[in-house]
Amino acid sequence: MCDYYFEDLNPGDKFTSPSFTLTAQDLIEFAQKYDPQPFHLDREAAEATHFGALVAPGFQTAALSWALAIKTGVFRKSALAGLGVEGLKWPKPVRAGDTLTCRFEVLETRVSSSRPGTGVAVSRFDLVNQNGDLVFTMRMTQLLRCREAPAVSPGQFGAR
């Protein structure tokens, strides 16, 4: 079942994404564009740093968590916009070759009073590696479409 709308999500609902193995190439390509620091750029340079090995950029880890959450299909029809994210933490580093899975849980839901046909959900997204270690966590507040929603005009969420 992938046709989730706001009404289908309730506090306590939990989902688990498919898994994804991060390659050194994925990691280095992201770092070259978005986080060109030695411990993200190449194996040898990383070995000489305090991390001792190549580690994934923090925002790549965050983006991957969301990419994996999308693969569940829960947000395919429901997602309208991200309203905010809090509490990003990286308890352990992500290494090249790690196999990552995103688990997320709905914490709060409320119908939007200002935007008819939409609701707001707050969910916690946890990324775990192949050993079950938590490597990243965040809480995201999302604007979601209701099942019986009036048409949303283009540009209505220009200012989110």
Among 21, 23, 45, 86, binds its own copies (CB under 8 A): 86
The size of the chain, in residues, is 160
Binding mask 1-40 for its own copies (x = CB under 8 A): -------------------------x---x--xxxxx---
Of 11-19, 80-88, 102-110, 119-127, which part binds its own copies (CB under 8 A)? 80-88
What is the smallest separation between the CB atom of 93 and its own copies, expressed in angstroms? 6
With CB under 8 A as the contact rule, the residue among 3, 23, 45, 63 that binds its own copies is 63
Q: How far apart are CA 53 and CA 44, in angstroms?
A: 8
Is residue 89 part of the contact set for its own copies (CB under 8 A)?
yes
Q: How far apart are CA 15 and CA 85, in angstroms?
A: 19
* Residue 155 in contact with its own copies, rule: CB under 8 A: yes
Report in angstroms how near the CB of residue 106 gets to its own copies at its nearest. Answer: 19
Q: What is d(CA 111, CA 113) in angstroms, rounded to the nearest whole number?
A: 6
Task: Judge whether 109 and 67 are in contact, CB under 8 Å.
Answer: no
63 HSE (CA, 13 A, CB side): 11
